[in-house]
Amino acid sequence: MSLSRRRFLQGAGAGVTGSALAGGLFAAGARADTPPAAQGDGAVAFHGANQAGVLTPAPPAGTFAAFDVTTADRAGLMALLQALTTRARVLTAGGPQPDLGVGSPPADSAVLGPDMPADGLTVTVSVGPSLFDSRFGLAERRPVHLSTMPAFPDDALDPAWCHGDLLLQICAATADIAHHALRDLMKHTRAWMQPRYRIDGFVPPPRPSGAPRNLMGFKDGIVNPAPADAGPVVWVAAGRGEPAWATGGSYQVVRLIRMLIEFWDRVSLTEQERMFGRRRDTGAPLDGSAETDVPDYHRDPDGAIIPTDSHIRLANPRTSESAGSALLRRPYSYDRGFAPTGELDSGLIFCCYQQNLVSQFEAVQHRLAGEPLADYLRPFGGGYYFTLPGVRDDHDWYGSALLS
């Protein structure tokens, strides 16, 4: 008998049950920790000690979707993570999908056609601090620095756009591939989790070259560490006081930041550049000529050229104290149409990875408190998450060491 729309919606509202599907601004350069992809054209290797989507170059389309886990026990959480693994492995490999036979729903929505392309798709799974409450007996396994993201000065956080037990970062060459992946993952995990928030982003091409630009017109991600140097910055290593299962994972910060771009567009170019500390056209520091030039603060101690309260100088003052706060930025721009006030609701999905939340992201964030640029930014959502270690082979699954 066919399933009517009414019965489907009633089932979804009550919490559909299902069986466990057993798990049978920008990074640059390629992943160095996994072998070349053996899947179809454009596929990113799924298996490895670390998850893809961190050091992987950021493709044009990205979706960030947070969820609350609704299952009541550890077995359900395991089933959820195994189902995510099974589907992510299939989606990132691409290729034709099986025929499930007469009377069964299609294996795939076919919005990408009969031969599902991979086209750079990555699915990166992270968990929030709330997953380590009393529900699943994981309190003693929580990563050392994982806590609920606080409201920093100048924040206007909306609870509906914050936190979550689990975060999916889905990135791909085109927006429809990211949409297709999210649709598929939600279809196969409806029994164990429900949506909390979702935001879609994009990375524009470099214009004319170098780092891409954000919606304020300035280049974003110029000082990211090179791929060969990013490992110690990003990945949690053994012997650092973290739970053993967390080795190979990373602390992820997501900050949803609305840019007040109508007001920004009324500011003189000179003032804009002094707030950033860089030239808008080339991305060069105000004392340099190319975007990759290193600013020389020792020759400008009073900020006559690069103001002492400029964004680049506060974020990275290049002192011995700030040397350990480098992090890997992987941001996306977003556009959600109009705000209720009639202004553009556009801005930045700030995303970064690091192996220590406190000495890296939070150290930078505290230095930026009260910067002049804050008058044109309204952080409203996001959260702290821990990116799980990689899925090592066909028998492994997301979070296997956490739940063992």
What's CA 248's distance to the chain center, in Å?
17
**Rounded (10°) CA dihedral 321, 232, 391, 109:** 60
Q: Answer whether residue 14 is part of any domain.
A: no
Which run of H or of E encompasses 21? none
Q: Is residue 313 part of a domain?
A: yes
Identify whether the C-beta of residue 181 lies closer than 8 Å to the C-beta of residue 171.
no
- The Cα–Cα gap between 286 and 274 comes to 8
Q: Is the distance from CB of 46 to CB of 394 less than 8 angstroms? A: no
d(CA 184, CA 22): 16
The DSSP annotation for 137-203 comes to T-GGGS-TT--PPP--TT----GGGB--SEEEEEEESSHHHHHHHHHHHHHHHTTTEEEEEEEEEE-
Task: Judge contact between 325 and 40, C-beta under 8 A.
Answer: no
Residue 390 lies in a domain: yes
Q: In the Cβ-directed half-sphere of 237, how many Cα atoms lie within 13 Å?
A: 7
**Closest Cα to residue 402, out of 393, 389, 385?**
389
Element (H, E) at 77: helix 74-93
In a domain, 373, yes or no: yes
- If you search the block for the tokens 């989507």, which residue do you land on? 53
Question: Which residues have C-beta within 8 Å of that of residue 337, sequence separation ≥ 6?
Answer: 344, 345
Bridge partners, residue 354, by sequence:
251
pLDDT of the residue at 320: 82
Joined together, the tokens standing for residue 106 give 């299609």
Question: Is 311 a member of any domain?
Answer: yes
Q: CB-based contacts of 374: which residues, under 8 Å, 6+ apart?
A: 153, 154, 368
CA-CA distance, 134 to 311, in Å (whole number)? 41
Helices (H) and strands (E) in the chain, counts: 9, 11
In order along its 404 residues, the chain shows pLDDT tens digits of 344 444 444 444 443 333 333 333 223 232 233 333 334 468 999 999 999 999 999 999 999 999 999 999 999 999 999 999 999 999 999 998 888 888 888 888 999 999 999 999 999 999 999 999 999 999 999 999 999 999 999 999 999 999 999 999 999 999 999 999 999 999 999 999 999 999 999 999 999 999 999 999 999 989 888 877 899 999 999 988 999 999 999 999 999 999 999 999 999 999 999 999 999 999 999 999 999 999 999 999 999 999 999 999 999 999 988 888 999 999 999 999 999 999 999 999 999 999 999 999 999 999 999 999 999 999 999 999 999 999 999 999 999 999 99
pLDDT at 324: 85
pLDDT for residue 39:
40
Q: Which residues contact 9 (CB under 8 A, 6 or more apart)?
A: none
Is residue 370 one of the residues assigned to a domain? yes
pLDDT recorded at residue 191: 97
| Whole-number pLDDT of residue 98 | 84
pLDDT at 107: 87
Whole domain around residue 74: which residue ranges? 21-97+106-404
Q: Is the pTM of this model over 0.75?
A: yes
Which backbone phi and psi does 257 adopt, to 5 degrees? -125, 110
The burial of 135, by beta-carbon neighbours within 10 Å (0-12 exposed, 13-18 middle, 19 or more buried), is given as middle
Q: In 3-state terms, what secondary structure has residue 92?
A: helix
What pLDDT, on the 0 to 100 scale, is given for residue 329?
95
**Residues 244, 238 contacting (CB under 8 angstroms):** yes
pLDDT at 321 (0 to 100): 84
Residue 66 in any domain: the answer is yes
Instruction: Provide the sign of the torsion angle of the four alpha carbons 232, 235, 238, 242, taken in this order.
Output: positive
Q: With beta carbons less than 8 A apart as the criterion, state whether 332 and 202 touch.
A: yes
- The confidence score (pLDDT) of residue 21 equals 34
pLDDT (0 to 100) of residue 105: 87
**Do residues 367 and 314 touch, judged by C-beta distance below 8 A?**
yes
Burial class (CB in 10 A: 0-12, 13-18, 19+), 283: buried
Number of domains in the chain: 1
Dist CA 336 CA 272 (whole Å) = 24
Q: Is 55 a domain residue?
A: yes
CA distances from 291 to 211, 284, 286, 312, 364 (A): 8, 4, 10, 12, 21
Q: Could you tell me which of 251, 243, 257 has the C-alpha nearest to residue 359? A: 251
Q: Name, in order, each residue with C-beta under 8 angstroms of 287's C-beta and a sequence gap of 6 or more.
A: 293, 295, 296, 299, 300, 305, 306
